[in-house]
Amino acid sequence: MPSQEDVVAALAGVMGPDGRTPLPQSGVLGGVVVREDRVFVSLEVEASRAAEAEPLRAAVERTVAGLPGVGRAFVTLTSQSKGGSTAKAGPAQHAHAHDHGHHGHSHAPAAPAPGPKAQAARAAQGIPGVRTIIAVASGKGGVGKSTTSANLALALRNLGQRVAVLDADIYGPSMPRLFGLKQKPEVIEGKTMRPLEAFGLKVMSIGFLVEEETPMIWRGPMVMSAIQQMLREVAWGDVDVMIVDMPPGTGDAQLTMAQSVPLAGSVIVSTPQDLALIDARRGIAMFRRTEVPILGIVENMSTFVCPKCGERSDIFGHGGAQHEAERLGVPFLGEVPLAMPIRETSDGGRPIVVADPQGPHAQAYTEIARRLMATLQGSRSRPAPRIVTE
């Protein structure tokens, strides 16, 4: 397997846009990341020169794919604004992601040309076979968003829905551990991945492609490209509801999802404490600004009941998320306690809705799923908005 330095050294043989300067010194090479036998390269160019930079991208792709030990080369071409800053998710962005390697060739769809018509055409495509897409998000990490996503997906399955889970938390993927999945996805038809399956769900995660302890040190363009590939280059099949486990915060991943697919809405997960609610408000404001409906708020770790004495302790407070939902005028979907069985079953790869489907904790998730379905009933997915980054 080549090192990052090996890749950069090989790219010194590729000339930059001027045809004279080696690529690493040209200012175009955005970043290089090596993960096992996969190499990710981002190239940054001005928006007006995106089309003419395609031969350069192809040359980089051939060079990296030809290195010993490289199984796949992911090369991302990302436009820049006139000021030179990378366009994170605006309509002016023009990004291509290509995968060349021993398993075939794949293309992530290019972002549309600027303008409302192009945006509408892009949004209308959706994801083939997927009817409803719901983002589960939080303003900060550590509030149990991934555990909530997994159990909510399982509860929706129990209510008769065909459910898929997309782990979009690029920096900290949790679904492989939550669902006890360790194998890699099968590549079919040379470019499309088949999602893994667990407990009747279809699951895709970047965690299936890298080792569990491998740090994901990616620039924004790489994050956007990876999410696009997991959305578009996976054979999802017939799905009623896709649950997207978002990374914490309000950055590239959130904006990519808001722009790329017709989201039915978002579910915000927070603990009751004020510090968590401050960040949850930021997440709600971000989705509202991008015209994504807020389907509801879930209060996680709501209270703790001692398994020995039965005493109740509100470790993180109680009722804060419900009060916030009332203040903001959004649905309150329910609360989930801080309980050892939820933690133990999550760590064991068998979430509580599967491990103890008739227990009180599984029933809490089921009630949240019912309220979510009631909110969704009769609603339509909205077209992706035009996002302007200043």
Q: CB count, 10 Å around CB of 187?
A: 18
pLDDT at 355: 95
Q: What is the mean pLDDT of residues 321-338?
A: 86
Task: Report yes or no: 74 and 98 within 8 Å, Cβ to Cβ.
Answer: yes
* pLDDT band per the 50, 70, 90 thresholds, residue 136: very high
* pLDDT (tens digit per residue) in 22-48: 998 888 887 787 877 788 888 887 766
Q: Exposed (0-12), middle (13-18) or buried (19+): which is 341, by Cβ within 10 Å?
A: middle
Q: Exposed (0-12), middle (13-18) or buried (19+): which is 242, by Cβ within 10 Å?
A: buried
* pLDDT (tens digit per residue) in 176-217: 999 999 888 888 876 788 999 999 999 999 888 777 666 666
pLDDT at 214: 65
Task: Report yes or no: 227 and 256 within 8 Å, Cβ to Cβ.
Answer: yes
Considering only CA atoms, which of 377, 368, 366 is closest in space to residue 332? 368
pLDDT at 379: 52
pLDDT at 237: 93
The most confident of 22-36, 244-258, 356-370, by mean pLDDT: 356-370
Q: What is the mean pLDDT of residues 153-175?
A: 92
pLDDT at 317 over 50: yes
* pLDDT (tens digit per residue) in 41-97: 888 877 667 678 888 988 998 999 999 988 888 887 665 443 333 333 332 233 333
* pLDDT band per the 50, 70, 90 thresholds, residue 249: low
Q: Which one-letter amino acid corresponds to residue 273?
A: Q
Three-state SS at 168: coil
Domains of the chain: 4-111 (3.30.300.130), 126-376 (3.40.50.300)
Averaged pLDDT of the chain: 78
Task: Report yes or no: 279 and 311 within 8 Å, Cβ to Cβ.
Answer: no
pLDDT at 149: 96
Q: What is the mean pLDDT of residues 150-164?
A: 96
Q: What is the mean pLDDT of residues 3-28?
A: 89
